[in-house]
Amino acid sequence: MSSSVFTKTSAVPKASAKAALPAAMFCRNFGIKSTLHAQKLMAKLARQDKLQMQTPQQDTLLDDMPRELKLPMTPLPIRADTMEQLWTTKNLESLDIGIKKHRAPENIADKIAYYAVKSARKPTDIFFRNKYLHRSVMLEVVAAVPGMVGALIRHVKSLQGMRHDGGWIGHLLHEAENERMHLMTWMEVGKPVLWERALIATVQTGFFAVFSLLYMVSPRTAHRVVGYLEEEAVTSYTHFIKEIDAGRIENVKAPDIAIAYWNLDENATLRDVVLAVRADEALHRDTNHHFSDRIRAGRESLFEDLEYSEDQPRIKH
Ligand SMILES: [Fe+2]
Ligand SMILES: [Fe+2]
């Protein structure tokens, strides 16, 4: 071995000192004169090796998949009645969802929540006008945030406090999934153009940050905000139905994803989908106002009211 190899090793930075000896041996074995060059080469080879180890062979992916991942995790509709029967236009129209139901603000926090939502509606009206499909995409991108944020924060609180959550987390996650299914449905029907997508994504990012902060400071107000947001959603979808009935929006066939998710008739149309989505929003409205009321009443845990019920699970969580 030439002495020049070891002379150059002394110039190696401290961080690379650990690699000096194997690099020197590597040089000797492969007749490389520069240790630094050898270290770089060794690092490159190591990276390639690591990459090969981390990249599974595609043809074995299915064989290696755990059995549990092969079980279907099908999104379930949020309304119990939607799961119980096939939904036709007639029974969708006969659902009593309280189209004009409104929770009057009772205190300052409620008023702030109410007027915040009302003031956010105005720019949306100006921007989207009668483009109800694109407006719905915007609405659902935002509406899918609160359930997930609420579930995350309550999950962390449950862990940190080492106590039961009170049975909310599952419901909040289900709400978030339901809103995302609304979004996936609307994306099947009509796709916003690039600049609309950019605006929607920007609004959602801002909303995510503000809502997360609000939920940490005042979950009661946060749920009230969602309650009012859902009241607006019910109104928006009612206008959507009127536009379809007036012939200004074509009543196309419902996408397959919607027929499967809401258990709709195979000949269902866009109008049926809007009726089903509006029914979901009405449930979100009632649920979130109820959550806010429970916090205010100091009776958060659902199990305080449900533990003696025959048909409710007894496992507190
Ligand atoms: Fe929705
Ligand atoms: Fe909703």
Give the contacts of 6 (CB within 8 A, at least 6 positions apart).
Answer: 24, 35
Torsion from C-alpha of 164, 168, 174, 180, nearest 10 degrees: -110
Residue type, 49: D
Q: Which ligand is nearest to the CA of 140?
A: 1
Distances (CA, A) of 222 to 31, 93, 162, 175, 216: 68, 31, 23, 15, 9
Distance in angstroms (rounded) separating the CA atoms of residues 46 and 315? 50
Per-residue confidence (pLDDT) for residue 55, from 0 to 100 = 61
Residue 1 amino acid letter:
M
Residue type, 127: F
CA of 298 to the centre of ligand 1 (A): 28
Nearest to 261 by CA among 92, 81, 77: 77
pLDDT at position 80 is: 84
Dist. CA 20 → ligand 2 center (Å): 61
- Taking the centre of ligand 1 as the mean of its atom positions, its distance from the CA of residue 303, in whole angstroms, is 27
Q: Which ligand is nearest to the CA of 230?
A: 2
Closest Cα partner for 236 from 157, 316, 83, 129?
A: 129
- Domains of the chain (ranges; CATH) run 3-60 (no CATH), 80-306 (1.20.1260.140)
Which ligand has its closest atom nearest to the C-alpha of 137? 1
Which ligand minimizes its atom distance to the CA of 146? 2
Compute, in angstroms, the gap from residue 179 CA to the centroid of ligand 1.
Answer: 4
CA of 143 from ligand 2 middle (Å) equals 6
pLDDT tens per residue across all 317 residues of the chain: 333 333 343 444 444 445 555 555 555 555 555 556 666 666 766 666 665 555 656 678 888 889 889 888 889 999 987 777 889 999 999 999 999 999 999 999 999 999 999 999 888 888 888 888 888 999 999 999 999 999 999 999 999 999 999 999 999 999 999 999 999 999 999 888 888 889 889 999 999 999 999 999 999 999 999 999 999 999 999 999 999 999 999 999 999 999 999 999 999 999 999 999 999 999 999 999 999 999 999 999 998 887 655 666 567 78
Predicted local confidence at residue 117, as pLDDT = 96
Ligand nearest to the CA of 138: 1
